[in-house]
Amino acid sequence: MHRVLLSSWICCALLVVVVDARQRSNWQNTEGNDPSREPSGRSNGGPRASRRKSDKPNIVFILTDDQDSELGSMNFMPKTQRLLRSGGAHFHNAFVTTPMCCPSRSSMLTGMYVHNHNTYTNNDNCSSVQWQRTHETRNFGTYLSNAGYRTGYFGKYLNEYTGTYIPPGWTEWVGLIRNTRFYNYSLNFNGKKIKHGDNYYKDYLTDLIANDSVTFLKQSKQYFPNRPVAMVLSMPAPHGPEDAAPQYQHMFPNITTHRTPSYNFAPNPDKQWILQYTGKMEPIHMEFTDMLHRKRLQTLQSVDDAVEKVFNELKELGELDNTYFIYSADHGYHLGQYGLVKGKAMPYDFDIRVPFLMRGPKIPPGVRMPNIVLNIDIAPTILDIAGVPTPDHMDGRSILKLFDGADDPSNLMGNDMKPKKAWRDSFLVERGKLTSKKMQVRDRLEAKHNKLSNTKEQRLEKECEKGEYQAPCSAKQAWQCTRDDTGKLRITKCRGQQQKQQKQNDVLPKRKTGCKCPPVDPLMARGEKRLQRNFLRTHVNQPVSAQKLKPKFIKSRRRRNVPLFDDGGTLNDSLPSIDEEYLLASSEEVDDLVSVGLPLGRPQEHVVREIEEAETPPYVNRGAVSCKVLPNGTISCRKPQVWSFDYWRAKKSHLDSMIAESKARLEKLKVLRKQLRQGKPELNTQVEDEGIVTAIDDDVQALFAEAAAAAGLSDKRLEKQRLKRKNRRNKKLQRKVRLDVSRDCNSPRMKCFAHDNQHWQTPPLWNSGPFCFCPNSNNNTYWCLRTINASHDFLYCEFITGFISYYDMLKDPYQLRNAVYDLTYTNLRQMQDQLEKLKSCRGNRECTVRTRPADGTAISSEGSGELQGESGEMDEGSGGSGEDHSLSPWIQEEGGASGDGEEEDDLKEDFLFLTRAFRLDDP
């Protein structure tokens, strides 16, 4: 008996092992063929077996949304600081090339500048069909998947992602549909759309990303132990609507680290147009920045927890030492800087500088890296970690080589790593593109510049080159350019030629054309009227035999007058339309006209008396005659009717009184409707208002109760439905109030936002009332050169409006003063040339600009193109002569070392225009 039981138990165990192995084999085969069909990462449990670590390292990329570096947000994330910064490397010169969500995220995915992947704004080409076909297929996830990685993406993807597809390259896909939200959002979970509500324990997005990523990591190592994992955790924090987890809503009540020296530094007449327009903030704006900063820090606490959770899970799995962490943000943020209440998209350090932490096997703990790191370097770095060569189309470079020799104490200065000489020291910051409308703005500014910079003689020379001013005058030419006795150009009229041509035109017969002739006054002249009166006196009293002649004279139809309103005060339907033909005349001309319908033979005085007895409306004939051809071939002409002033004023007064009366009645109805809404009765109540009685009797209530009982609804269920309807009405009212506030919050050429008491739905709440602010403009398009090396730290920008700016961060770290006047012409030209090359660069060889170690000359990665002066000093001439080509010698001396006097004048003119550019800034 025991032998039978033992053999049965062994058979069952062997069967389970075989089924388990076969199931794992099927999953592995399925994953190799189609990653989208593998079992969901949210399932729990599964077979456990002895695991062998993969040869390639794991990769965890944690990305936050709108997290600043300059306002001190990282100082309030102690877990991240301890695990990643103290345990890894901190890049304190990390930047993004475009400080906007979708363009920056697209650059992170593809490793390309914005001008190469063409996602310029959060709407333009963001997750478009063109993006999906060309660039999305080359994101770093596709390369990792082809290299054998199990890839997972969790959280926000791109702003315009609709959730209708799964981007290529991702084994596990949990993508947020549209823009950031913490509650009430939808996810695409491996191809299936899932809608989430407002329950913190089930729906809070930051926690959900952490839980799903840990589950994916755990099951990947459980079922596929020999395959590496790459995960992207794209957090919503600290982006709006800044909904913090309940346990953190009480924190940071008096934190004001965002109030940097540039806080409320306004107005700024030496900066671009939006900052010239923006003045100092009002007290309500400053209060808002304080609360917004507090709520942003509260949302980051959940990110801090997520970092610790993933870190601990890797530690439990024994994969921590074989895992690289990368922590960064898509761009920075400003809160009150330069008077701007909130926002991004500016070229200054508070918007383009981001946190950047990295931890991994080859990275020494607690080291500070001075080299410039960009968002376009993330994709090449991840591929380098995975052992995949960087594709040629990527503009960024892997930063792993910066850690070469990190274990050598000679490469460290305390905790600071010595900068690598072969690394970039300049990069491009760009926002927007040249549209046709913006090209018109630029052309207008250039025309304005040419008008201001050229002399009158130069402008005349340019105008006289046009064909319309060439001498001698040709037919129909109005002006010609001639020189006076002193040799100066003059623009004179073509008088003789024009008069001669006019005489020839008078002699020649006029040709018939299709032009409309000027209207002829239909009123008869006095002589014609007199002849008609004589004709009537002579021929009206003719014998009957002559009655065959029935003359019809103009202005002879009997007039009629129809009242505008009937007795009830309504518009009369029998009024003549504008298209009807009426021949009207003033009462002073009655004696000159006859009625068509009167028979001949009657005395003339009877005709005149009947015409005088006819009621004459106070109309006056004015305007041009309009004619039309009738179906029978005759031509009918009429004049537009215009009332006399007295008649018009009377009718207008009557209409105004009717409109006022209607408005008064409408206002009374609105007040009554408002009262009815506010005092909506419950069951078994009566409301009496002006004789109107509304009641719900017991029979109706009993009928409702029977229907509810038949449907299986209890009183508790009915109460719940009633509260739901009430909440729906309140939300609708709140949306209406918010819409009213937003409707008035707009300004031409500006991008504005409205804030009110209903904006934040989680504590701490805003109770200081609504306000409107315009933090950006539609002409804030720019291209900037940002340089950091041993001798320089500056930002040079060119805006679409023609404005230029230059900030020396060694002297002015908060970029308070535009120091463009301090530049020499040589320096300005060097920066312009370097910027032009970066604006059109492609690939990391063209897009990497660095300083040659030998002489300091700025070169591209190809080794060509001198862009800076001798020994890297921007104050030296590029030719190495050591001469100072500043503006002062041009003003004090004639000519100069750079060429003859005429060329020197051209250089001065260009320099004066460039340094004057901010005065021409125009929205």
**CA nearest 351: which of 69, 651, 149?**
69
Torsion angle, CA of 766/768/769/770, rounded to 10 degrees? -70
What angle is formed at CA 356 by the lines to CA 186 and CA 138, rounded to 5 degrees? 60
Interior/surface letters 257-271, b for 16+ CB within 10 angstroms, e for the rest = bbbbebbbbbebebb
Q: Which two tokens stand for residue 375?
A: 């968002």
Q: Cβ distance 375 to 96 under 8 Å?
A: yes
Give the containing element (helix H, strand E) for 467: none
What whole-number distance in Å separates Cα of residue 818 and Cα of residue 91?
27
* DSSP-assigned states of every residue in 96-133: -SS-SHHHHHHHHHH---HHHH---SSSTTTT-HHHHH
Q: Are strands 782-788 and 771-777 parallel, antiparallel or unpaired?
A: unpaired
Q: Which of 12, 101, 517, 752 is catalytic?
A: 101
Torsion angle, CA of 576/578/581/587, rounded to 10 degrees? 70
- For residue 861, give the 3-state DSSP assignment: coil
Q: Is 68 buried (19+), middle (13-18) or exposed (0-12) by CB count in 10 A?
A: buried
**CA nearest 264: which of 275, 253, 252, 254?**
275
Q: Cβ distance 480 to 494 under 8 Å?
A: yes
464 is catalytic: no
What whole-number distance in Å separates Cα of residue 457 and Cα of residue 434?
33
319: alpha, beta or left, given left = phi > 0 and alpha = psi -120 to 50?
alpha
What whole-number distance in Å separates Cα of residue 760 and Cα of residue 488?
71
Strand order in the sheet with 323-329: 192-195, 186-189, 172-176, 150-156, 229-234, 58-64, 323-329, 356-359, 89-91, 367-369, 416-417, 412-413
Residue 483 vs residues 81, 470, 489, 609: alpha-carbon distances, Å: 78, 12, 4, 77
| Catalytically annotated residues | 101
